[in-house]
Chains A and B, each alone.
Chain A
């Protein structure tokens, strides 16, 4: 704001303009052509200089990004659990221990290690079948049953009415509760490790011993129907002409998979076809998709569960006597219908077994009624593996850790403890064999598991003493059974702890790289004097040279250190080499170094905000309540700028600063009403993001929010442009028309989506689907294709008003000698800022489309706040301070929560991949999910250069260096957060809440840092180039 000041450069430039105009007028009169040789050449040179400096800046930040990625990779690969996969397989003819009761093992016809009970099996997974869906809702109490209650009673009824034919039990999943991980657990019997959680988009074949492989080895014909994840895990295992696989990721489609499974299942069960197969694996996805799309408490869920109920009643009717029917959920779902984490609702699935033979029993008559909650008598999901193996006469897969389910082996009378002892002995012996091999492969001394080994020998002793007896009693068998069981339990808990194995050196080296990068970035962003674009070439040159040298040394060191994995040595050496290189560069430019410690209250506030937030991540409560802490910090910032505005000398600065500070606070608070609570925040938090806490669709009133944004946001942004007369040229086309039209299309998309979801127009579903996808594609094209071409080709937002000098009033106007007219340059005061800020609105449009209606409101508010922040920073003269980029970091993190996200796996809105697409398409689908998840941070990252460009004179020197400084500070904020969450996750690796709280927060922090890095480099700094080139076209380059 330089209203009252004497306009030093303004005058020069505008005078030049006026002169040029006068010249032109003269030339036009004389018919001459302009000739400006030397000036044009010098200008060209400056342009080349700028492009080079800009390119080096991009390269430097890319180098920082690579260091971040390397540090995160090294830490992650040591932190996320690793388990050695053993290649050994179990063999039918080689039981783990001598068989008993003169049973001859080795024949799959009678049963490999134990007599088999069933010839055939139909194993059906109802994805996300939570335990409480299957049991009746207790009538007492005032609580009303939800839509998911009492909708699929068939399991409970059969278990109670025909206890010898059926049983129903809670079926506890080992987290992570993603389908791919669960299928691994359900077929191999081993515990999952966290690394695999990320591979849900591209499953890989299981090479461990597993039930499916055992069935195939025994020449069983296996049929698969449903979810195609199975084919990624077991390629080529299934009968090709009977198997039908369906795409599993289209969560908006509730019926295609289910109808496909049902249509192909019943013909196979017909007596004429039963000879064609031995085992069928069916996988229904409708319940899971209904959960993802609507949440469990929705009529669509009731309908889906009723459909399942009817299907299983039909299956019971058609089942023959030799076939076992197993139905289970692979995991549950949380209150919104999502899953992935380890909350109770997510891990509590249901297991139901049924056969026409009266085989099943209970150890106590009271157990006939299935448990009222999943806390009572639960079985682990890995227990299915030995149970099915033994029932079907297969060997137990080598890596299995589960135990046979009691109900399936205790006999109809519920007292066959002898059989139970035998199957447990077999299973336990296999576990023992596996543990022995595992210890050998890992090079672990047997003494480390002395506790479990003593349990093993105790159980074996009890067994042999029993064998010597003539007629052992039931109780004695029961004791032996519990002895073997105890060994299995102990081994399982040891394995759980053991596979929380961390590779400490990797983690430490990863953290070291992150710390060093942080120091480099801190010095670069806050500890250099003068123009950064001048210094970056030296830094990049030496840093890059150091990295290359480090790579070479690392390559040599891999031979010297054969025990350490090659890539570990290589990465570490490269990063250290780069750091040494940059240290030498800092030494080289030492005269330009300054203390990076803050020297004003704003610097300290930035440091306190960043460090307080980082320190808070050490406590689970502060991590859970991060959204509220950010609200507190942002309001504090607003209050401080209001105070600071009162200190300003000029009344206009005071008034503007105060107004925008208060606006900033109020907007922050208004945005806080959009919440999606994580489970740990209950009961102190009420979700408002969706129609209700147990749904994932928007309420009708929420559909109005995007329309309100479309109507109001362009008007507000226009207001910020009109303050400096910058609402000119391309801004009118973009802000006045394209942005609003794009936002309206986004709003229309969500209305159509709701119509499609709620089936408002039955019969038009397909048409709605096509229309909404086309609309989304157009909106995205407006935002990015049309937006970017506007941004690239637009002239600066200026208008030159020519007036005759006759009116005498020449204030604010420039008159040149010989000119008959005076000119006023409208929009001059904010040439850079107004030009660059167009980019913010383009990304705002793209992000608003991919957020749910409530999130579009949050993004609208965020954009408004960004512009307010620009004004606050300008009126308080803070464009040089660290506070602007840090507050943008806080704002981005805050709106991450306001757009319906949390630092948990289950809050990822996978369905956004389908907004402009029908099927998964790489790389677009993951990019859309990233744009949805980190939209707020992306928007704020794009806004960073505007902080230093807003209302800066076009000829100001060193603007590019200022942009580098601001971007560096912004990345620094996220780098500190990432380092803190990384260190806390590493430090608290034995904490009870590691997987629930610290690990997801660490992953969020790491991903945010990398995403923000990329967007800062290619969108923010990249956009600066386009904007500067366009301004320089009019004003020329400053040397």
Chain B
């Protein structure tokens, strides 16, 4: 990574929105992916309403697979495409070009492994943080722990897995992510959409409609899924490159 190569790196270059990988598969699959995610959720919805804990647990695995496939097919891994050109320039004159690794090998090394790492990171780091946030926002403290935890796991798979894949674990980048300073792209839009959707998902809980689906945490997870799809679509198209202004 650039920061490691040059620790006292001068003012950071302004962050640019993440572009999709430059191939037709990526351009096509990025639109199929949210449909698959929403279909998965719609397919599981009935059983989630019936008994949230086992259903949400079992949905985690297909969701992780979908997310890994998506990032591997569509997105540039961290330190990948963006800095590839820079690395090319930095090569010392006369240095031998390394033999290009095989396609499969490079696919696994460059994509599948980072994707798995992203999965591990979002489950290990983001989920507990999100669980705590949910509790602070009013999730039950003494009961429903598995529910809240699974809800946080779903949000973190949707929101943070692609982010970790494209941005890595650089502290300053993550400060910018949390501070909403990055320009919007489909990954960032997906994250903001997921969180905002989950936030809105709390609205129907107090209503006295006596519906089964009003129970914790169904509405939150539903909001997160819908928010993810909408945020990803809008972030990748309409709002791409825009920045969030607070003032």
Query: What residues make up the interface of A, taking CB atoms closer than 8 Å to B?
Result: 600-602, 619-622, 624-625, 628-629, 631-632, 635-636, 639, 642-644, 646-647, 665-666, 668-669, 672-673
Question: CA separation between A666 and B132, bound complex, in Å?
Answer: 10
The answer to whether B206 touches A600, judged by C-beta atoms less than 8 angstroms apart, is no
B131 to chain A, nearest CB (A): 14
Question: CA separation between A628 and B247, bound complex, in Å?
Answer: 29
Q: B136: which A residues are within 8 A, CB to CB?
A: 635, 665-666, 668-669
Question: Which B197-219 residues sit within 8 Å CB-CB of chain A?
Answer: 199, 202, 206-208
**Shortest 8 CB-CB contacts between residues of A and residues of B:** A646-B179, A625-B206, A647-B179, A621-B208, A621-B207, A635-B137, A621-B206, A601-B246
The answer to whether B179 touches A628, judged by C-beta atoms less than 8 angstroms apart, is no
The answer to whether B245 touches A601, judged by C-beta atoms less than 8 angstroms apart, is yes
Cross-chain pairs A/B with CB under 8 angstroms, 10 sampled: A632-B202, A635-B137, A635-B138, A636-B199, A646-B178, A647-B179, A665-B136, A669-B135, A669-B138, A673-B141
Quick one: CB contact mask for B114-156 with A, threshold 8 Å, 1 for yes?
A: 0000000000000000000101111001000000000000000
B224 to chain A, nearest CB (A): 16
Chain A, residue nearest B135 (CB): A669
Q: A631: which B residues are within 8 A, CB to CB?
A: 137-138
- Asked if B181 is at the interface (CB within 8 A of a chain A CB), the reply is yes
- Asked if B27 is at the interface (CB within 8 A of a chain A CB), the reply is no
- Asked if B26 is at the interface (CB within 8 A of a chain A CB), the reply is no
Question: CA separation between A639 and B246, bound complex, in Å?
Answer: 14
Question: CA separation between A631 and B136, bound complex, in Å?
Answer: 9
B187 to chain A, nearest CB (A): 18
Question: Which B202-247 residues sit within 8 Å CB-CB of chain A?
Answer: 202, 206-208, 244-247
| Option from B180, B202, B245 in Cβ contact (under 8 Å) with A643 | B180
Chain B, residue nearest A640 (CB): B246
- Asked if B175 is at the interface (CB within 8 A of a chain A CB), the reply is yes
Chain A, residue nearest B174 (CB): A646
Question: CA separation between A639 and B175, bound complex, in Å?
Answer: 14
B207 to chain A, nearest CB (A): 5
Q: How many B residues, CB 8 Å from partner?
A: 20
B64 to chain A, nearest CB (A): 26
Quick one: CB contact mask for B161-182 with A, threshold 8 Å, 1 for yes?
A: 0000000000000010011110
Q: B175: which A residues are within 8 A, CB to CB?
A: 646
Q: B202: which A residues are within 8 A, CB to CB?
A: 632
Quick one: CB contact mask for B76-115 with A, threshold 8 Å, 1 for yes?
A: 0000000000000000000000000000000000000000
The answer to whether A619 touches B207, judged by C-beta atoms less than 8 angstroms apart, is yes
Question: Which B21-61 residues sit within 8 Å CB-CB of chain A?
Answer: none
Answer whether A643 and B179 are a contact pair too, CB < 8 Å, given A621-B207, A628-B206, A666-B136. yes
Chain B, residue nearest A877 (CB): B247
Give me 10 other A-B pairs in contact (C-beta within 8 A), A620-B208, A646-B175 excluded: A600-B246, A601-B247, A621-B208, A628-B138, A632-B138, A635-B136, A635-B137, A642-B178, A643-B178, A669-B138
| Option from B206, B245, B246 in Cβ contact (under 8 Å) with A624 | B206
Count contacts between A and B, CB distance < 8 Å.
53
The answer to whether B246 touches A629, judged by C-beta atoms less than 8 angstroms apart, is no
Chain A, residue nearest B176 (CB): A646
Q: B180: which A residues are within 8 A, CB to CB?
A: 643, 647
Question: CA separation between A536 and B181, bound complex, in Å?
Answer: 40
The answer to whether B137 touches A644, judged by C-beta atoms less than 8 angstroms apart, is no
The answer to whether B206 touches A622, judged by C-beta atoms less than 8 angstroms apart, is yes
The answer to whether B206 touches A647, judged by C-beta atoms less than 8 angstroms apart, is no
Chain B, residue nearest A602 (CB): B246
Question: CA separation between A619 and B206, bound complex, in Å?
Answer: 10
Q: B206: which A residues are within 8 A, CB to CB?
A: 621-622, 624-625, 628-629
Question: CA separation between A646 and B178, bound complex, in Å?
Answer: 7
A272 to chain B, nearest CB (A): 62
Query: What residues make up the interface of B, taking CB atoms closer than 8 Å to A?
Result: 133, 135-138, 141, 175, 178-181, 199, 202, 206-208, 244-247
A891 to chain B, nearest CB (A): 16
Chain A, residue nearest B206 (CB): A625
Question: CA separation between A632 and B136, bound complex, in Å?
Answer: 9
Chain A, residue nearest B202 (CB): A632
Question: CA separation between A635 and B195, bound complex, in Å?
Answer: 14
Question: CA separation between A622 and B203, bound complex, in Å?
Answer: 9
A363 to chain B, nearest CB (A): 39
Chain A, residue nearest B142 (CB): A686
Chain B, residue nearest A638 (CB): B136
Question: CA separation between A730 and B108, bound complex, in Å?
Answer: 69
Q: B133: which A residues are within 8 A, CB to CB?
A: 639
Q: A668: which B residues are within 8 A, CB to CB?
A: 136
Chain B, residue nearest A681 (CB): B206
Question: CA separation between A600 and B202, bound complex, in Å?
Answer: 25
Answer whether A632 and B137 are a contact pair too, CB < 8 Å, given A646-B175, A646-B178, A647-B181. yes
Answer whether A644 and B138 are a contact pair too, CB < 8 Å, given A621-B208, A622-B206, A628-B206. no
Q: A635: which B residues are within 8 A, CB to CB?
A: 136-138
A875 to chain B, nearest CB (A): 13
Question: CA separation between A666 and B246, bound complex, in Å?
Answer: 24
Chain B, residue nearest A600 (CB): B247
Q: A636: which B residues are within 8 A, CB to CB?
A: 137, 199
A548 to chain B, nearest CB (A): 43
Question: CA separation between A619 and B207, bound complex, in Å?
Answer: 8
Chain A, residue nearest B179 (CB): A646
The answer to whether A647 touches B246, judged by C-beta atoms less than 8 angstroms apart, is yes
Question: CA separation between A629 and B202, bound complex, in Å?
Answer: 9
Question: CA separation between A621 and B209, bound complex, in Å?
Answer: 9
A595 to chain B, nearest CB (A): 16
Question: CA separation between A25 and B175, bound complex, in Å?
Answer: 53
Question: CA separation between A718 and B136, bound complex, in Å?
Answer: 27
A158 to chain B, nearest CB (A): 43
B231 to chain A, nearest CB (A): 16
Question: CA separation between A624 and B247, bound complex, in Å?
Answer: 35
Question: CA separation between A666 and B136, bound complex, in Å?
Answer: 7
Chain B, residue nearest A645 (CB): B179
Question: CA separation between A549 and B137, bound complex, in Å?
Answer: 52
A662 to chain B, nearest CB (A): 9
Q: B181: which A residues are within 8 A, CB to CB?
A: 646-647
Question: CA separation between A647 and B243, bound complex, in Å?
Answer: 13
Q: B246: which A residues are within 8 A, CB to CB?
A: 600-602, 644, 647
Q: A665: which B residues are within 8 A, CB to CB?
A: 136
Chain A, residue nearest B133 (CB): A639
Question: CA separation between A625 and B245, bound complex, in Å?
Answer: 33
Question: CA separation between A600 and B175, bound complex, in Å?
Answer: 22
The answer to whether B179 touches A672, judged by C-beta atoms less than 8 angstroms apart, is no
Q: A625: which B residues are within 8 A, CB to CB?
A: 206
Chain B, residue nearest A654 (CB): B175
Question: CA separation between A620 and B178, bound complex, in Å?
Answer: 36
Q: A632: which B residues are within 8 A, CB to CB?
A: 137-138, 202
Question: CA separation between A644 and B247, bound complex, in Å?
Answer: 10
Chain A, residue nearest B195 (CB): A639
Chain B, residue nearest A622 (CB): B206
Question: CA separation between A628 and B136, bound complex, in Å?
Answer: 12
Chain A, residue nearest B204 (CB): A621
Q: Which of B133, B135, B247 has the most CB of A within 10 A?
A: B247
Q: A639: which B residues are within 8 A, CB to CB?
A: 133
Chain B, residue nearest A628 (CB): B138
The answer to whether A672 touches B138, judged by C-beta atoms less than 8 angstroms apart, is yes
B24 to chain A, nearest CB (A): 37
Question: CA separation between A621 and B136, bound complex, in Å?
Answer: 22
Q: Which of A600, A602, A643, A673 has the most CB of B within 10 A?
A: A643
Chain B, residue nearest A658 (CB): B178
Question: CA separation between A673 and B135, bound complex, in Å?
Answer: 12
Q: B178: which A residues are within 8 A, CB to CB?
A: 642-643, 646
Q: A622: which B residues are within 8 A, CB to CB?
A: 206-207
Question: CA separation between A624 and B179, bound complex, in Å?
Answer: 35
Q: Which of B199, B202, B206, B207 has the most CB of A within 10 A?
A: B206
Question: CA separation between A164 and B151, bound complex, in Å?
Answer: 65
Question: CA separation between A804 and B178, bound complex, in Å?
Answer: 48
Q: B207: which A residues are within 8 A, CB to CB?
A: 619, 621-622
Q: A629: which B residues are within 8 A, CB to CB?
A: 206
Chain B, residue nearest A623 (CB): B206
